[in-house]
Amino acid sequence: MTKLEQILYTGWLRRLILLLHVFAFAGLIINYGFILSDTLEVVLMTIFLFVLFVGVSYTFLNYFFRRKEVIPGVFIFDAISVLFVLFCIYKQFATAGFDNITPWLRFAVILKLIREFTSPKLRYKRSFLNPAQLFIISFFLMIFIGALLLMLPKATHHGISFIDALFTSTSAVCVTGLIVVDTSSYFTQFGQTLILLLIQAGGLGILTFASYFSYFFKGGSTYENQLALSDMTNTEKLGEVFTTVKRILAITFFVELIGAFFIYMSIDKMIIPSFYDRLYFSVFHSISAFCNAGFSTLPNGMMEQGFVFNYPLQLSVILIFVFGGLGFPIVINSIRYIKHLVVRYVLWFLNKENNYRPWILTLSNKINLVTTSLLIVFGFLLIYLKEYNNVLTGHSGFGKIVTALFTATTPRTAGFNSIDFSQLHFSSIIIIILLMWIGASPASTGGGIKTSTFAISTLNYLSLAKGKNKIEVFRREIADISIRRAFAVMTLSLVVIGTGIFLIAHFDSHIPLLDIAFENFSAYSTVGLSLGITGDLSSESKLVLVAVMFIGRVTTLTILIAFFRKVKQVSYSYPSDEILIN
């Protein structure tokens, strides 16, 4: 081994490079978040260029003296990233020289930081933290860091208090959409971009990103990492964990890209003349919709003048957030079923061969798809009939249908609004609360008690009424553990929501009870709809909603699992006895 190779593979060199990237990361925060003097900007530029030079040089030397097998995907990524970094440095000197830091130089530094911080292999120890605790801590850290970043001077136009920053960060990470300050006018584009990144990270989970990139760059992962990820992604087979994560990321970015395209095509160029502003608007709303966040860069959401009658835009947003609320296991299983149908009928047409395979569409998939469809139809018909001569008066024909559909689907944790919900009939508000409470499907970006929970509880009522001692549906019996989980989720949700209502009614006793209840159901189910009281709440009530949003996102059951030690399974059982219920 040559002297250069010895230096290249020593631990202190890796630690030095990591320290340089930490400085570069701090420099990016300073550059983006603060107004800089000319001298400080030159210093930061020098640091950025030095880090890029070291990073590119290390990449070249690492491959030149490489002793391990080259991973093709990583090599392609590194080659493209090096070329992009060199191009960005060229653009920096071609357009601005040393006068100021351009976005090109920032992009290059961000790319190198992504490569550096996702390269180390994550070593998760199950004995130190169980998956539930790791999941909760990751969300807590994201929220806290997000709040600090939103307090940077260049993130807002006039500054923001820590309580409001914490509330906004929690709402973004928990993909809720409740706001205490107007996103469009209060935050700068940098602040809005921070919110967008928090939404994306919160919608999928920062551990999903970190684990997959670590696996991608290292070509493997520890057994405990795979166990933790399998719990978080609801993957049944341990060997398919990273395949599932890759599919989740691919589906997410594909749907968001297609959604952004349709949103862009539906925007009137007279309203948003700038190409860049239209593109930013499209990307922001596509990510916000898919993650069921409900954040908008419009002051009044879809009620804004010029957008309230833009029905193609509203239909695009509906499709995006309904797709995001279905849940990744359902989407993946549905794609597998569609592929089977295509292959089956093609083979039958060509060779008269029946390639039928039973139960490709799982029981969970069937229950959630049927429940979701029924809730959409039920909500749409009720809103359309009850509000035809009320909030739908300003629309006509097709417009009434689209607006009623938007109003019926957005409570299922999306949080966008094309009408003023405070103008709904009282009975319609009760229906909206029910839809918010049920929420989206499991393992999705949405919240609520989930469609499967609601379906199991309904089937249980019918089963008891018929005198059955088990729940049967689609020629299958639902497992007892699923029934117990469903009723635990329902009960715990009402406990949290009821506690939130009690506390806010105590701190802000002047607010009507219906408005408080609506706000708490919206917060727990990560919906983001409001009857207009969020910004007027006291600091204590805002903190209550922060807690409710957080618990609703990580789920109460996960919190209990995180802090209660599992007991060992025992082989004995006590005699069973019935308890008087009614």
What is the residue-level pLDDT of the chain in tens, covering all 582 positions?
555 555 555 556 667 777 888 888 888 888 888 888 888 888 888 888 888 888 888 777 777 666 566 667 677 877 888 888 888 888 888 887 777 888 888 888 888 887 776 665 555 555 566 777 777 888 888 999 999 999 999 999 988 999 999 999 999 998 888 889 988 889 999 999 999 999 988 887 665 655 555 555 455 555 455 555 555 555 555 556 667 777 788 888 888 999 999 999 999 888 888 899 999 999 999 999 998 888 989 888 888 888 889 999 999 999 998 888 887 778 888 888 888 777 777 766 666 666 667 667 888 888 989 999 999 999 999 999 999 888 898 888 899 999 999 999 998 878 888 888 888 999 999 999 999 999 888 878 788 899 999 999 999 988 888 888 888 888 888 888 888 888 988 999 999 999 999 999 999 999 999 999 999 999 999 898 888 898 889 999 999 999 999 998 888 887 887 777 666 666 777 887 777 776
Orientation of helix 189-204 relative to helix 162-173, angle to 10°: 40
Instruction: Retrieve residue 496's tokens.
Output: 């949290």
pTM of this structure: 0.87
Residues 111-128: tens digit of each pLDDT: 888 777 666 555 555 556
Q: How far apart are the first and last CA of the chain?
A: 81
Q: What per-residue confidence (pLDDT) applies to 213?
A: 55
Backbone dihedral angles phi then psi of residue 478, each to the nearest 5 degrees:
-80, 130
Residue 123 has, within 13 A of its CA and on its CB side, a CA count of 1
User: How many contiguous H segments (helices) and E segments (strands) does the chain have?
Assistant: 23, 2
Smallest CA-to-CA distance from 527 within 380, 391, 325 is with: 325
CB contact burial 378-388 (16+ within 10 A = b; e otherwise): ebbebbbebbe
Give the whole-angstrom CA distance, residue 297 versus residue 301: 7
Three-class HEC string of 276-343: HHHHHHHHHHHHHHHCCCCCCCCCCHHHCCCCCCCHHHHHHHHHHHHHHHHCHHHHHHHHHHHHHHHH
Contacts for 435-439 with beta carbons within 8 Å, 24 or more apart?
A: 435/375, 435/379, 435/408, 435/411, 436/411, 436/412, 436/521, 436/522, 436/525, 436/527, 436/529, 437/493, 437/497, 437/521, 437/524, 437/525, 438/375, 438/412, 439/325, 439/412, 439/413, 439/525, 439/526, 439/527
Give the whole-angstrom CA distance, residue 566 versus residue 344: 46
Give the whole-angstrom CA distance, residue 196 versus residue 149: 13
Q: What per-residue confidence (pLDDT) applies to 99?
A: 77
Backbone dihedral angles phi then psi of residue 473, each to the nearest 5 degrees:
-155, 140
* 244 neighbors 332 (Cβ within 8 angstroms): yes
Residue 255 three-state SS: helix
Q: What per-residue confidence (pLDDT) applies to 53?
A: 87
Smallest CA-to-CA distance from 278 within 287, 288, 268, 291 is with: 268
- Mean predicted lDDT score pLDDT of the chain: 83
* 199 neighbors 139 (Cβ within 8 angstroms): no
Give the whole-angstrom CA distance, residue 198 versus residue 174: 9
* 444 neighbors 252 (Cβ within 8 angstroms): no
Scan for tokens 């760059």, then name that residue. Answer: 217
Q: What per-residue confidence (pLDDT) applies to 528?
A: 87
Scan for tokens 């670590």, then name that residue. Answer: 214
Residues 426-455: tens digit of each pLDDT: 999 999 999 999 988 887 878 889 999 999
Partnered with residue 187 across adjacent β-strands are: 156
* 548 neighbors 497 (Cβ within 8 angstroms): yes
Give the whole-angstrom CA distance, residue 471 versus residue 462: 9
Residues 454-502: tens digit of each pLDDT: 999 999 988 888 888 888 888 888 888 888 888 988 999 999 999 999 9
Sign of CA dihedral 545, 550, 553, 554: negative
Give the whole-angstrom CA distance, residue 295 versus residue 183: 8
Residue ranges covered by each domain of the chain: 3-117, 131-322, 449-524+533-565
> Got the DSSP string for 332-378?
HHHHHHHHHHHHHHHHHHHH------TT-S-HHHHHHHHHHHHHHHH
Q: What per-residue confidence (pLDDT) applies to 234?
A: 57
Q: What per-residue confidence (pLDDT) applies to 360?
A: 75
* 55 neighbors 173 (Cβ within 8 angstroms): no
Smallest CA-to-CA distance from 412 within 386, 381, 373 is with: 373
Instruction: Retrieve residue 359's tokens.
Output: 């139960």
Partnered with residue 473 across adjacent β-strands are: 476
Give the whole-angstrom CA distance, residue 435 versus residue 421: 14
CB contact burial 113-139 (16+ within 10 A = b; e otherwise): bebbebeeebebeeeeebbbebbbebb
- How far apart, in Å, are the Cα atoms of 372 and each of 106, 413, 524, 527, 547? 43, 13, 19, 16, 28
